[in-house]
Amino acid sequence: MGKLDGKVALVTGSSSGIGEGIARGFAAEGAAVALVARRAERLQKLADEIALTGGAALALPADVTSESQVERIFAATLERFSRLDLLVNNAGTAVRGAIDELAVEDWDRVLAINLRAPFLCTRQAMRIMKRQGGGRIINIGSISAQRVRPSNAPYNASKFGIDGLTQSTALEGRPYGISCSVLHPGNTRSELTVNPGRPPSEEPMMEVEELAQAALLMATLPPHVNMLHAIVLPVGMPYLGRG
């Protein structure tokens, strides 16, 4: 028996990186998974791979900054699986640059993906979970919500905002059996941190499968228990002395 047998999870940004790792981890523990991202082919490939291992997955290509598309993916999840137990708000992006050189369009795009989208998805999940009598929402934040990196203002600000959204959701969801957590990753090897157009980081990295273990722990806690904040990072990462 899996730790998430009978549960339904929706994971945004699940076509690669942290989102894919969490989706695979949840599916391996028996959850039916709604996979959400913009890249349809990547999503369908992941859904097919999960199905081959005996799991259930639904690929839902969407732009989660769009209110109408977010409403559509949640409706499709209910139509296929009849319920929603877990939401993981993982979709994210970053733009580097000094504050005085940033384009407004870049600021708006990062805030839309990293903060507007989690709000839109949380709103839909709350509506469903209230009717069900409970559920769990996990937001993927960043250690940049506490110790910022230079030339990363939009990303830093958005992750501070995720902290506030998490606490607001946890407070408002409490009377309805809805918990909300934020998982703050340190350096995690993914397309966002490792790509051909970016010099390799000299800092230690952890793998998405290792971070996914923390998300699984959050997801499998008893309904009356919540891990409100968690910081997971490589031991050797220069986190405690930075900022």
- Tens of pLDDT along 183-235? 999 999 977 666 545 556 678 999 999 999 999 999 999 999 999 999 999 99
Four-way CATH pick for 8-232: 1.10.238.10, 3.40.50.720, 3.40.50.150, 3.40.109.10:
3.40.50.720
Tens digit of each residue's pLDDT (9 = 90 or more) over 5-34: 999 999 999 999 999 999 999 999 999 999
Instruction: Kindly state the tokens that stand for 173.
Output: 């969801």
Tens digit of each residue's pLDDT (9 = 90 or more) over 37-85: 999 999 999 999 999 999 999 999 999 999 999 999 999 999 999 999 9
pTM above 0.85, yes or no: yes
Active site residues: 155
Domains of the chain by residue range: 8-232
Taking the CB of residue 96, how many other CB atoms lie within 10 A of it? 14
Any residues with CB less than 8 A from the CB of 223 and at least 6 apart, and which? Answer: 134, 177, 179
Give phi and psi for 235, each to the nearest 5: -55, -40
